[in-house]
Chains A and B, each alone.
Chain A
Amino acid sequence: MAERKILNGNAAVAEAIRQIDPDVVAAYPITPSTAIVEYIAKFVADGLMSAEFVTPESEHSAMSMCVGASAAGARVFTATASQGLALMFEILYIASSLRLPIVSGIANRALSAPINIHGDHSDTMGARDSGWIQIYSENSQEAYDNIIQAFRIGENPDVSNPVMVGMDGFILSHAVQDMLVEEDSKVKAFVGERKPLYNILDVDHPITVGPIDFTDYYFEHKRSQFVGMENAPKVILEVAEEFKKEFGREYGFFELYKMDDAQLAVVVIGSTAGTAKVVVDQLREDGKKVGLVKLRVYRPFPAKELADVLSSMRAVAVLDRAASPGAVGGPLFTDIRASLYEYEKRPILVDYIYGLGGRDIAPKHIAGVYERLERIAATGERGELIGYINLRE
Chain B
Amino acid sequence: MGVRARLKDLAGLEDKFVSGHGLCPGCGIPIMLRLVLRATEYPIVAVNATGCLEVCSSGFPYTAWKIPWMHNAFENAGATAAGIEAAYKALKRRGKLPGGDKKIKIVAFGGDGGTYDIGLQSLSGAMERGHDIVYICYDNQSYANTGGQRSGATPFGASATTSPAGTKLPGKLQWRKNLTEIMAAHGIYAAQASVSHWKDLFMKAQKALEIDGPAFLNVLIPCPTEWKTKPEDGVRLAKIAVDSKVWPLYEVENGKYKINYYPKKEVDVVEWLKPQGRFAHMFKPGNEWMIEEYRRRVNEEWERLVRLTKA
Contacts and interface: CB of A to CB of B under 8 A. Distances in A.
Interface of A: 23-24, 26, 50-52, 54-58, 60-62, 64-74, 76, 90-91, 94, 199-214, 217, 221
Interface in B252-303: none
A279 to B, nearest CB: 46
B3 interface: no
22 contacts: A26-B83, A50-B94, A52-B86, A56-B129, A65-B80, A68-B80, A69-B90, A71-B70, A73-B91, A74-B86, A201-B88, A201-B104, A206-B67, A207-B69, A208-B58, A208-B69, A209-B70, A210-B71, A211-B59, A213-B60, A217-B60, A217-B61
A379 B58 CA distance: 63
A72 B83 contact: yes
Interface string B78-98: 111111101111110110111
Interface residues of B, number: 50
A211 B69 CA distance: 9
B73 A94 contact: yes
B98 A201 contact: yes
A340 B16 CA distance: 56
Nearest to B48: A210
Contacts, number: 172
Contacts of B112: none
Interface in B18-47: 43-45, 47
Contacts of B86: 24, 26, 52, 54, 65, 68-69, 74
Given A61-B76, A91-B73, A206-B68, A54 B98 contact: no
B65 interface: yes
Contacts of B98: 73, 199, 201-202, 204-205
Contact of B99 (A26, A72, A200, A203): A203
Which DSSP category, helix, strand, loop or mixed, fits chain B's interface?
A: mixed
Contacts of B96: 23, 73
B226 interface: no
B58 A211 contact: yes
B181 interface: no
Interface in B104-154: 104, 121-122, 124-126, 128-129
Contacts of B87: 23-24, 52, 68-70, 72-74, 76, 201
A206 B66 contact: yes
A200 B75 contact: no
A383 B225 CA distance: 64
Contact of B76 (A23, A64, A213): A64
B55 interface: yes
Contacts of B54: 212
B102 interface: yes
